Structure 1
Amino acid sequence: MPRRILQGTVVSDKGDKTVVVRVERTYLHPLLKKTVRRSKKYHAHDEGNVVKMGEQVSIQECPPRSKLKRWEVVAG
């Protein structure tokens, strides 16, 4: 099964080998027919600590690496 790839902005890089990425999605409200923006934060593994706060990155699903990390950074 293919792994999902999401794109988002790094909002925290304080953890060792961990970054927090905010991914925004837009959808049409079913009743009001208005575009709504929602965001979700994902903890992602960054092996070399190369990604910095504010950067746009792609993250990909991976097997669990810790309690919260189920994603890994694939592109900076």
Structure 2
Amino acid sequence: MIINQENNSITIPRRNSRKQRIGIVVSNKMNKTIIVSETKKVKHKYYGKSILKKKKYMVHDEENISKNGDKVKIMEIKPISKNKCWRLISVLGKIG
């Protein structure tokens, strides 16, 4: 809590926003869990060439609504299990 002396108001600082990612569903074989693959283009530190980097996330899908190949938006949450700390926000569309 921060007190502003100029106009005698109290400001409550907001907590940090959670990370969000957009990726494609690779697997939905587990119950209430999907695996989402995120691909991003980065430059190599030394050579400067563009490289595609892939990362997989285990995501909590409460209603089992996403299918393989869907483009989804996920958000970081507190850990649900050993590997699962992301939650499905929305299905953005079908790829391909």
Tell me which of the two structures has the higher relative contact order, counting C-alpha pairs closer than 8 angstroms and 6 or more residues apart.
1
Identity among equivalent positions (%) equals 37
Match of 1:37 in 2: 52
Of Structure 1 and Structure 2, which has the larger fraction of its residues in strand? 2
In the alignment, which of 7, 12, 15 is matched to residue 27 of structure 2?
A: 12
Where in structure 1 do 4 or more consecutive aligned residues deviate above 2 Å? none
In the alignment, which of 76, 80, 86 is matched to residue 61 of structure 1?
A: 76
Task: After TM superposition, give the deviation of residue 26 of structure 1 in Å.
Answer: 1.1
> Is structure 2 residue 84 aligned with structure 1 residue 75?
no
Q: Distance in 1 between matches of 2:82 and 2:30?
A: 14
Gaps of 5+ in 2: 1-15, 92-96
Gaps of 5+ in 1: none
Tell me the C-alpha RMSD between the 2 structures: 0.7
Task: After TM superposition, give the deviation of residue 30 of structure 1 in Å.
Answer: 1.9
Of the two, which has the highest radius of gyration?
2
Match of 2:18 in 1: 3
